[in-house]
Structure 1
Amino acid sequence: MWEATISCNSAYDGLFFYAVKTTGIFCRPSCKSRVPNRENVSFFSNATNAHKAGYRPCKRCRPDLKSIKTFDPLEKVIEDIKQIIEEKYGQKILLDELASMVGVSPYHLNRLFKNRTGNTPRMYLEQIRVSKAKELLLTTNLNSTEISFKVGFQSMSSFYHAFKRRTGLSPSQFQAQYFKDSANED
């Protein structure tokens, strides 16, 4: 069992679980978490016994779920990051802070997010901010300066560059184009 644990052998998933005394967590043999010290490991024939012994399930490998195929821990990280960005887009958000919120390194988060979504977290944040800015330009009387700071940009120049990069238009051109198109429809 120890050999299966240190080699992260998925062939043993469901046959036994291991728990780490120092963390209070139990895992599947295939878990990619750091290899614990042998003296801190206990083995259990099922997740219920590990839970009864006072261990909580690992958030990475989710040994509490019947089938690992139903849970992709990396997809959960992506969903969590998207939710955080969508809720906090108006605030200053640093990659280090995002990474610590979901428990991964900034490098790993950036690479994982880009692999799964095609965007870095920063690009996704910019996309959300520009989308919110477009909405505000069309539904409020706020000017571009007010909107840029409301959606979280730190300067007017970064707002204009991001807006133009995403839409091909400046905020005022976007607004004029929309209202021109709306007038032509009437």
Structure 2
Amino acid sequence: MELTDSIWEIIKTNSKSLDGKVWYGVKSTKIFCKPSCPSRIPNKSNVLLFTNLDTPVQNGFRPCKRCQPINEIVSDDIWVDEINYILESYYDQNLTLAELSVLAHGSISHLRHVYQSKTGISPSEKLMQIRMDKAEILLQNTKRSIGDIGNDVGIPNNSYFIKLFKKTYGVTPHQYRVDRIN
């Protein structure tokens, strides 16, 4: 089904007129919703339409925790998977807990509580793990500067990036790179 201007207007205004007939998926988050979902309006270019409720799931989309498009409460385990997908997808951006909660279609406090109870770490700690893992790979496989690598993984402050890397790996990024060469 094509995303026409009239369907886009229904999504933008959270109209219930197409609920149960059409669902939309957001390619950047892999979440699908009812047209009436009160979550933030996605970028139009990231929207896919579905006329069959089975199709989004078959295409790897997860139901929205907020609007519950399959009329079932989304399990916390599925939601944590969704949050991890978002963290992996947006690690290189300035991703705050507030922005994460918008992307994952839930409240900040509930997201933090559920994520911590299911994983044992906070979403912020997971984001930092992802960033450090990505930085380690870049240090091993590229000759990019330390500052560029910090920026590439979402930590544009060079001294802060070095401090976090040293806290994680016990050595500075430069020392890490030198030790890997020798």
Larger RCO, structure (CA 8 Å, separation 6 or more): 2
Given the alignment of the two structures, is residue 58 of structure 1 paired with residue 58 of structure 2, yes or no?
A: no
Aligned CA-pair RMSD: 2.1
Cα distance, 1:102 vs. partner?
A: 2.0
What CA deviation, in whole Å up to 9, does each residue of 1:61-91 have, x standing for no partner?
5xxxxxxxxxxx1011100110011011111
Q: Spell out, residue by residue over 1:29-67, the C-alpha distance to the aligned partner (whole angstroms, 9 max, x if none).
A: xxxxxxxxxxxxxxxxxxxxxxxxxxx632415xxxxxx
Alpha-carbon distance in 1 for matches of 2:156, 2:177 = 22
Instruction: Provide structure 2 residue ranges, at least 5 long, that are not aligned to the other structure.
Output: 1-15, 21-68
> Tell me, which stretches of 5 or more residues in structure 1 are unaligned?
1-20, 26-55, 62-72, 181-186
Change (3 A) 1:59 1:174: farther
Does the Cα contact within 8 Å between 2:147 and 2:156 map onto a contact in 1? Answer: no
User: Which residue, out of 82, 85, 92, partners 1:83?
Assistant: 85
Instruction: Name the structure 2 match of 1:92.
Output: 94
Q: Counterpart of 2:71 in structure 1: which amino acid?
A: C
Question: Structure 1 stretches (4+) deviating beyond 3 angstroms?
Answer: none
Question: In structure 1, what is the equivalent of residue 34 of structure 2?
Answer: none
1:147-158 counterparts in 2 under 5 A? 147-158=149-160
**Paired position in structure 2 for 1:47:** none
Percent identity over paired residues: 29
2:110 aligned to 93, 108, 111, which one? 108
Task: Report which of the two has the higher share of helix.
Answer: 1
TM-score, normalising length from structure 1?
0.58
Amino acid at match of 1:175: R
Matched, 1:160 2:162: yes
Question: Higher Cα Rg: structure 1 or 2?
Answer: 1
Q: What TM-score do the two structures reach when normalised by structure 2?
A: 0.59
Alignment coverage as a number of residue pairs: 118
